[in-house]
A and B are shown apart, each in its own frame.
Chain A
């Protein structure tokens, strides 16, 4: 039997009030904090006013500084360990040829880790174009996946960052954990709201295998911080919806092809990406809640790359001990 209309209406109103209440609380707290700060440090407000920056927009300013640095190749805060990209490329070609000829006994996963460690900076953060190009080549040669840090002119704020565990998403109205697939251990449960792109299907009966996979192997990226996100709607929203990405754990080399199905996480969580319970479980096991990853777009115009694990090597089966993520 359906719920009486009045009750549904009341429930909806209650949810709206809670949400409004939270927003007002935050607005008030924000105003109080700002007022007290400006009273304590009037010269700070003056400093930013003279620079034409609102402190509330400091992240946008940071984005501009970083983008300018990346374009001019002056990311001094993030120096590549290997400046000569050619030597890395030569190494890739040699190592892959050795593997194909059976000369090298190094497993591909270990080989990949050795190569990316020559490229990645010590500090986790944005990479420069040269580093990204070298990584694209490594992924192509070893994983046989075409990836791009910049695809069709789109680039995430960072391709190297921390991923954090997310919950399952509601696939259709009424979806619950009672029927939702789970990971074998320490499952995160289901998020209370929908993903940024809504339900995967209108109803349970309309769910396709592709919808199931999209939720199962979903990733979260910070579209909310893209400098042009608001200006380029609805194009960007459509472009990012279910966009395939390669997510590679830089500690153990485990890799997954995922699709973007939610926006986040907030910068103040110390994370840059999110992964579904299945993505996180494959990348690092059931206890893996946060760790460094590379995240590149998959260049797959004909939709030929399946979502899910990239099983290019079973390094653990070969008795190779890796650092835990």
Chain B
């Protein structure tokens, strides 16, 4: 399974359509999807790490490494450490992510 704990927060259908339209082969489509995936993963991790104390980074990374798919465990951990509903916070922050990527790709 390719699931990461924050997948449910990503709504990048427009980027998907854009890529599908541009890719000239299945292989290229896969390559483009992977590139977007890397950008998205790095961005989400950046947003999460910026909300944690640096001393907690290693603990979070260990949990992420142990169960990268487990949204229940990881969000419970993040909520405890930050005192916020991180799921909601990220949902808000990632709301315009699709538009941001598209505008970068088309400029």
Contact = CB atoms under 8 A, between A and B. Distances in A.
Contacts of A125: 1, 3, 69
B12 interface: yes
B1 A158 contact: yes
A65 B68 contact: yes
Interface stretch (A21-29, A142-150, A295-303): A21-29
Q: Which of A18, A37, A157, A222 has the most CB of B within 10 A?
A: A37
B69 A65 contact: yes
Interface string A87-110: 000000000000000000000000
Contacts of B9: 270
Contacts of B90: none
A41 B56 CA distance: 13
B32 A23 contact: yes
Interface in B73-99: 73
A56 B34 CA distance: 8
Contact of A23 (B2, B15, B28, B49): B28
A26 B42 contact: no
Contacts, number: 159
A304 interface: no
Interface in B31-74: 31-43, 45-46, 49, 57-58, 61, 65-73
Interface string A245-270: 00000000000000000011111111
B72 A44 contact: no
A157 B69 CA distance: 12
**Which label, helix, strand, loop or mixed, suits the secondary structure of the A interface?**
helix
B1 A157 contact: yes
A130 interface: no
Given A19-B28, A43-B57, A164 B13 contact: yes
A123 B74 CA distance: 14
Contacts of A265: 16
B104 A268 contact: no
B6 to A, nearest CB: 9
Contacts of B10: 267-270
Contacts of B15: 268
A180 interface: no
Contacts of A53: 65
A53 B65 CA distance: 9
Contacts of A40: 46
A15 interface: yes
A56 B38 contact: yes
B24 A62 contact: no
A27 B11 contact: no
B28 to A, nearest CB: 6
Contacts of B26: 196, 263
Given A125-B69, A222-B2, A267-B7, 16 more contacts: A26-B36, A29-B35, A33-B39, A44-B45, A44-B61, A48-B65, A58-B41, A58-B68, A67-B1, A125-B1, A125-B3, A193-B29, A264-B33, A268-B15, A269-B12, A270-B9
Interface of B: 1-4, 7-13, 15-16, 19-24, 26, 28-43, 45-46, 49, 57-58, 61, 65-73, 104-105
28 contacts: A15-B24, A18-B22, A19-B28, A23-B32, A23-B35, A25-B104, A26-B35, A29-B35, A29-B105, A33-B43, A34-B38, A41-B49, A44-B57, A44-B61, A55-B42, A58-B41, A62-B1, A62-B2, A65-B69, A77-B73, A125-B1, A125-B69, A193-B20, A224-B30, A224-B33, A263-B30, A268-B16, A269-B12
